[in-house]
Amino acid sequence: MNPIAVRTRRERAPAAEVRRALKRFRDYKDAGKHREISAVLEKHSISNNALNVWLNKPDDAPFATKAPYLVLAAKELPSLRQEKKHRSYALLLQELGLKPNHAEQLSQLGGTYSLILGAQIKDLKFDGQLAIVTSSPGVVFFWTRYEARGHPRKFDGLVVERNSIVHLIGLSEHNMFIAHLRAVRNPSREVMYGTLAFEELSGVGYVRFALVPDGHRMSEREKAFTNEQLGMPIC
């Protein structure tokens, strides 16, 4: 008796990449950007009907012959979140009367910092790190992680500088992060001090804080000054 042949499906593209691609197309559909979708699909010889089938049956998409082209097409659609961030940044610069190339002037701020708070904010716990990132084209943003009543969360926002004050501004439906820091000449080697206002559904607080650049060892003099600024001992 001949054994029964079992056909197994072979992925044409990694399932994780296909899922990300389908999410990008779904985001664009939800935003009503049908023209942009049609343009990239046509470029890669994919029909709108095929995309709709994959959106309805995402588990089948990685095995489709056109799966690699679907992934390539999705990469040509900019992240809507990133696009929104760019628009917000341009509007912020315009309202503050800052030049469009402002982000280039802030490139030296890029890096990871230890976030030291002068006091704890009720029901909120920060993980102690804050990153400032420069992205292309011309946007500077920050992000940090925290816990709200035991639930881990991530928050990000925009960074600008005016009159030697660095402003970290993040607003969303559920939280707010606004900080003002005195700018320094060499942020990769100097501690920056400022005031932070943070609001989350579970708590709100206004505290003094410091940003210590990653890899920087604070001198005894810096520790004493930080202690004076924040009103707490720095070990």
Domains by residue range for the chain, with CATH: 15-77 (no CATH), 83-230 (2.40.128.120)
Q: Which residue has the higher pLDDT, 166 or 135?
A: 166
Q: Tell me, what's the pLDDT at 175? A: 80
pLDDT-based confidence at 149, cuts 50/70/90?
A: confident
Judged by phi (left if over 0) then psi (alpha if -120 to 50, else beta), residue 41 lies in alpha
- The answer to whether residue 184 scores a pLDDT higher than 60 is yes
Q: Which residues pair with 198 in a beta bridge?
A: 177, 205
Burial class (CB in 10 A: 0-12, 13-18, 19+), 110: middle
Q: Which residue has the higher pLDDT, 174 or 12?
A: 12
H-helix or E-strand spanning residue 206: strand 203-213
pTM: 0.69
Peptide bond into 137 cis (omega under 30): yes
Tell me the residue type at 226: T
Output the DSSP codes for 32-62.
Answer: T-HHHHHHHHHHTT--HHHHHHHHH-TTTGG
- The answer to whether residue 172 scores a pLDDT higher than 80 is no
pLDDT average, residue stretch 174-189: 89
The share of the chain scoring above pLDDT 90, in percent, equals 46
- The answer to whether residue 56 scores a pLDDT higher than 60 is yes
pLDDT-based confidence at 212, cuts 50/70/90?
A: very high
Q: Tell me, what's the pLDDT at 100? A: 75
Q: Which residues pair with 69 in a beta bridge?
A: none
Residues 140, 90: Cα–Cα separation, whole Å: 11
Q: Tell me, what's the pLDDT at 235? A: 42
pLDDT-based confidence at 8, cuts 50/70/90?
A: low
Tell me the residue type at 94: Q
Check if the beta carbon of residue 158 is closer than 8 Å to that of residue 166: no
